[in-house]
Amino acid sequence: MATAYCMKCRKKVEIKDVKQITLKNGRPAMQGSCPTCGTKVFRIGKP
What is the number of other CB atoms lying within 10 angstroms of the CB of residue 13? 20
8 Å CB contact between 32 and 4: yes
pLDDT in tens, 1-46: 799 999 999 999 999 999 999 999 999 999 999 999 999 999 999 8
Sign of the CA dihedral 15, 43, 4, 11? negative
Please tell me the predicted confidence (pLDDT) of residue 8: 96
pTM of the model: 0.82
User: CA–CA separation, 27 vs 15, rounded Å?
Assistant: 19
